Structure 1
Amino acid sequence: MNTYHVIGLMSGTSLDGLDIAYCRLTYKNKNWIYNILNAETLAYNAHWIDSLRGAETAGAQELIALDHAFGRYMGEQVQQFILRHNLSPDFISSHGHTIFHQPEKHISLQIGSGAYLAAHAKLPVVCDFRTLDIALGGQGAPLVPIGDELLFSDYDYCLNLGGISNISFNHNGQRIAYDISACNMLLNVLANEAGLAYDEDGNLARSGKLDTKLLEQLNAPLYFTQPYPKSLGKEWVLENSLKTLTESTATIPDKLHTTCHHIAQQIAGSLHPSNQKQRLLATGGGAYNTYLIELLQHYAGTNYSIEVPAPEIVSFKEALVFAFLGVLRWRTENNSLKTVTGASHDSVGGAIYWG
């Protein structure tokens, strides 16, 4: 079998909704070809936003119940998505929603039970992509780089501007990737404080002024100078970047303005100096923030071309890649790279539930 029709599911830390992408993935002439055939983002209602946001402080029984309930919810949404578009998927591949990520403690939890998802979607499910890599001594993240390597090799860098920004690139013949900084987790919280769901086009950030003291504080954590492999979790963001913003007396526009400079500086600092033109693919919700993209281009310099692709790739690249990770798991081929995560070896990650 060389062609697969898979539904990829992604729920990011920015809590903007459940991404569902129906993808066709074909292996032909030793290359993978992808098509996103149907895709939607289903915004979370207040119940799910509150439940997912507060899950890290839930008791054990409450967290287990939430895991099962969220799996059922995703399964029901997939069923409705299939009926709306008259689809015939082979299986579902789900990232779930990250609640804890502390790989140094061998902890990483993505809720959205694969068993409940499979039972209510009535389809096989591939999920739990991180655990094996962590058991092998890795970070369990980022996982998208195998997709960057095999689906988006035309680009020198692949940048995802989600709740957390992460980057992927080839260095000395090896795929390298890591989390850079918090991104929409910061920008959306600040926009919410201003009564906005998000800062459209970065207009509120553009209207603010740079707070140099705040910028120094945001750039201060040791994480930013640590070598890779490395990854970030919500816990780190709450204790560092968000805490710094909460303690600042700057106005919300000034905080947004300064935070955009912080994010752009950290990303630009992750790029390797080059005398040749380099192409950088920018996806994720932050790629719609034109002010942030302008700042990134400014700090990166003229040798780097920051490219924002078609909206379906911007919004659904992660869901596409998780569909692809599921295909690799289905074929028992490596989908987690030791050069990215720091694990003892490459691995075939993911659990399969036969719905």
Structure 2
Amino acid sequence: MILTAIGLMSGTSLDGVDVAMIETDGKRVKAFGPSGYRPYSDVERRLLLQALTEAVHLEAREARPGILREAERVVTAAHAEAVASFKAQNRIASEDIDIVGFHGQTVLHRPADRLTVQIGDATALAKAIRIPVMHDFRAADVAAGGQGAPLVPVYHRALAQSLEREGPVVVLNIGGVSNITYIDGDTLIACDTGPGNALLDDFMHRTTGQRFDCEGRMAAQGTVDAAWIADALNDPFFMQPPPKSLDRNAFARRVLGNVAPADGAATLTAFTVAAIAKIVPRLPKRPRSWVVAGGGARNLTMMRMLRERLQPATVEAADALGWSADAIEAQAFGFLAARGLKGLPLSYPATTGVSFPMTGGIVARP
């Protein structure tokens, strides 16, 4: 049975809410629908950054002390607005949608402590948009001893099956954190590789007031500090085999010294790329092609560095294949919601380290 699902994603870059519609049976993609975006305001983003700071002290996933309660209200309202705008712009009625996949906003991810926290009130969202909402995708996997991330590999596999090319193929998503899905026939491996845009975005905002390095223009003018990168790559995380996952702020302590904005941007961009390249020797075979999604796909300097580091493999943006680099994660959570409704696995031993394939998600009804 084909379901029509809307996926919502507010990622670790804290830029806004992505919305995407997809038609799927939970195994294959029948059709892509429209997509949309609702940016966070500067006030909302500052609130979420503060929530990230306060969430470090959380010990219970349901707790919402201090600013976290207000942040949850803001996240829920932003998602409701995103869906309302999306439906209006595309003339879609609530009854035309079978399920909404609502990831929420991750404020803490500490799987070693069996703790992952995504804020967002799914019940309030379901009532606001008048559509059933599937949420809490990661909790069951983490409770069973998995990393709870990444969850998009099953969607990447569905997309890769439509490509007529020899494997291995790696789908690389560069959001706040970078993660890969390695696909080679029936072999599916996934993990976070290291920082994505989070360190770079935070540095740009701190030093220039800009929210990100548009197209990598700042990094293109700078000089990479190779010694700083070599030291950062000594972090124990890079020695671990997949599957493995990261909190957005896992590398925030590695602050650059007093450097020019261009040099800092170049160094942090190169660090993201070097961390991605570091995973290649830990894969069963060297990938033949890489497909890049997320904000990093729009960073021309990052894409150039990736092509240099990953050759002779091809490196191309998801948009070049007719996929949506911006909407791919939102599409994935629509796809995961459909899988969850059907009780199909969302995670596997080789993607999150869980002991056996796990389904997940909880449905909140209007």
TM-score (ref. length: structure 2):
0.88
| 1:283 and 1:317 in contact (8 A); partners too | yes
Residue 106 of structure 1: how far off its partner (Å): 1.1
- Check whether the contact 1:34–1:151 (CA below 8 A) recurs between aligned residues: no
Residues 113-132 of structure 1 aligned to structure 2 (within 5 Å):
113-132=121-140
Q: 258-267 vs 149-158, which deviates more?
A: 149-158
Cα distance in 1 between the residues matched to 2:73 and 2:16:
18
Give 1:202's match in structure 2, choosing from 210, 216, 239.
216
What are the within-5 Å matches in structure 2 for residues 7-46 of structure 1? 7-26=6-25, 32-46=28-42
Matches within 5 A, 1:46-195: 46-56=42-52, 57=54, 60-87=65-92, 88-153=96-161, 154=163, 156-170=169-183, 173-192=186-205, 193-195=207-209
Change (3 A) 1:80 1:210: closer
Q: 1:252 to 1:217 in 2, by over 3 A?
A: farther
Question: Which consecutive unaligned segments of at least 5 residues does structure 1 have?
Answer: none
Per-residue Cα deviation, 1:107-160 (whole angstroms, up to 9, x for no partner): 101111111111111110011100000111100000001111223233611100
3-state DSSP class of the match of 1:214?
Answer: helix
Aligned to 2:276: 267
Deviation at 1:194, TM superposition (A): 1.7
3-state DSSP class of the match of 1:54?
A: helix
2:28 aligned counterpart, secondary structure: strand
Q: CA deviation at 1:171?
A: 6.1
The equivalent residue for 2:252 is: 238
Q: How many residue pairs end up in the alignment?
A: 345
Does residue 293 of the first structure (1) align with residue 307 of the second (2)?
no
One-letter code of the match for 1:151?
L
**1:220 to partner: Cα distance:** 2.3
Offset, 1:235: 3.7
Mapped contact 1:279–1:306 kept (Cα < 8 A):
yes
Of the structure 1 ranges 155-164 and 63-72, higher mean CA displacement relative to structure 2 is found in 63-72
Q: CA RMSD in A?
A: 2.1
What TM-score do you get using the length of structure 1 for normalisation?
A: 0.91
Identity score, percent = 28
Q: CA deviation at 1:217?
A: 2.8
Aligned amino acid, residue 346 of structure 1: P
Could you tell me how far 1:173 is from its partner in structure 2? 4.2
Gap runs ≥5 in structure 2 = 56-63
Deviates more, 1:261-270 or 1:155-164: 261-270
